[in-house]
């Protein structure tokens, strides 16, 4: 525990001792806030904005936290700077939503040497020594990819297209992000196992609508045709759909191209309800309350599981209703 926090605690205890014997005073100062440094990936997608909101709401002063927030703008060097800054400021905990799985050993060793516990949220990290972080909370991205390819199998069977060649345009997230690595692996594994599925191109859309719009518009100029878009997040899907619309290519339930997307944010679900996207695989960004709970449990000295997965589902035209969309938080 850092010096500043010990000092606040001592002052707080002295204050309580001075009040001993008196009736509880409603004006007693609250216990010292838990200082948390949070290094966020960026603001590249609606998923990310919902995640940031969930974190800032849960780690609020009313809930007993002081949150130091840093937006890395999708650059890992910025995350390293932010974390070193948190260490200098002697925060009590560091929470990282890592951009990539790689390159964390040195900075996390510095955090450990400073005695600051590190919680990893969303994507995972690969480090030589797992004790460099306390625990991880996030999604099973490989399972999300499996949900998508299994749905496509069923869909093609329903349409009696199992013997047809199926050309897939694959739009990928940021290189090295677990959500990219695992959603990609699920698709590549499925393609390797199926005689008729081919990936016609892999475009690196960096999880943003703007970049994907550019890449897909360029790709369409090659005249190459495809049957399915497998896009590793909703915002990239929005960019791809804009490019398809401009080129007059129809998509969704009654269109030429089947569209599979990940995250299931409100706008994507709306497209799905309108028949323009075929499948939205959910990825839950609402980690804030869980991170707050993990910190409270660490404060109490409880032991925690190293990896904590969220449960997720998927939505297609046949399962989606306006009520489901209205009830969504993001
Ligand atoms: O799918 C995407 C975001 O890591 C799960 O990052 C997250 C991904 C999410 O930018 O929209």
Number of neighbouring beta carbons within 10 Å of residue 262: 30
Which residue lies with its CA nearest to atom 8 of ligand 1? 179
Q: Which two tokens stand for residue 22?
A: 């008196």
| Ligand 1 pocket, Cβ-based, cut-off 6 angstroms | 44-45, 47-48, 122-123, 177, 179, 207, 233, 262-263, 283
Q: What is the pLDDT of residue 81?
A: 98
Which of 86, 66, 89 lies closest to 78 in space, CA to CA?
A: 86
- Position 3 scores a pLDDT of 55
The rounded distance, in Å, linking the Cα atoms of 322 and 212 is 28
**For residues 84 and 87, what is the distance between their CA atoms, to the nearest angstrom?**
5
For residue 208, report the distance from its CA to the centre of ligand 1, in Å.
Answer: 10
Sign of CA dihedral 208, 210, 214, 220: positive
Distance 287 CA to ligand 1 centre (A): 13
pLDDT given at position 6: 57
Phi/psi of residue 66, nearest 5 degrees: -115, 120
The angle subtended at Cα 88 by Cα 85 and Cα 91, nearest 5°, is: 90
Question: Can you read off the two tokens belonging to residue 102?
Answer: 């790689």
How far, in Å, from the CA of 14 to the mean position of ligand 1?
Answer: 46
Beta strands in the chain (DSSP E): 34-40, 65-71, 93-96, 118-121, 135-138, 166-172, 197-204, 228-231, 258-263, 279-282, 307-309, 314-316
* Ligand 1 atom at shortest distance from the alpha carbon of 232: 1
Give residue 317 CA to ligand 1 midpoint distance, Å.
Answer: 23
pTM of the model: 0.92
Sheet holding 279-282: strands in order across? 197-204, 166-172, 228-231, 258-263, 279-282, 314-316
Which residues in the chain come in under a pLDDT of 70? Answer: 1-26
Residue 22's pLDDT is 52
Both tokens of 40, joined, read 């966020």
Q: What is the pLDDT of residue 174?
A: 97
Model confidence over 287-297: pLDDT tens digits? 999 999 999 99
């Amino acid at each position: 525990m850092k010096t500043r926090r010990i000092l606040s605690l001592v002052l707080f205890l002295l204050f309580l001792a001075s009040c001993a014997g008196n009736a509880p005073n409603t004006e007693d100062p609250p216990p010292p806030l838990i200082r948390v440094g949070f290094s966020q990936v960026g603001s590249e997608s609606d998923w990310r904005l919902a995640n940031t909101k969930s974190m800032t709401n849960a780690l609020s002063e009313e809930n007993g936290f002081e949150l130091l927030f840093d937006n890395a703008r999708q650059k890992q060097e910025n995350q390293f700077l932010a974390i070193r800054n948190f260490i200098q400021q002697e925060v009590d905990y560091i929470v990282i939503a890592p951009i990539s799985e790689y390159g964390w050993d040195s900075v996390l060793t510095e955090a450990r040497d400073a005695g600051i516990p590190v919680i990893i949220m969303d994507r995972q990290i690969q480090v030589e020594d797992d004790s460099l972080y306390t625990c991880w909370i996030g999604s099973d991205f490989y399972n999300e990819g499996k949900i998508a390819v299994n749905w496509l199998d069923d869909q093609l069977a329903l349409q009696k297209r199992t013997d047809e060649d199926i050309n897939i345009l694959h739009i990928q997230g940021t290189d090295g992000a677990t959500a990219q690595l695992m959603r990609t692996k699920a698709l590549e594994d499925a393609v390797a196992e199926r005689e008729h599925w081919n990936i016609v191109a892999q475009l690196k859309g960096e999880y943003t609508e703007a970049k994907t719009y550019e890449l897909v518009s360029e790709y369409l100029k090659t005249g190459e045709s495809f049957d399915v878009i497998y896009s590793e997040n909703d915002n990239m899907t929005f960019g791809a759909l804009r490019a398809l619309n401009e080129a007059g290519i129809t998509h969704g339930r009654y269109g030429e191209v089947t569209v599979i997307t990940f995250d299931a944010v409100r706008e994507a679900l709306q497209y799905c309800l309108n028949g323009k996207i075929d499948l939205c695989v959910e990825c839950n960004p609402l980690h804030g309350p869980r991170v707050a709970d993990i910190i409270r449990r660490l404060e109490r000295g409880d032991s925690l599981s190293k990896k904590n997965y969220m449960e997720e589902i998927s939505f297609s035209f046949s399962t989606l209703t306006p009520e489901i969309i209205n009830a969504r938080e993001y």
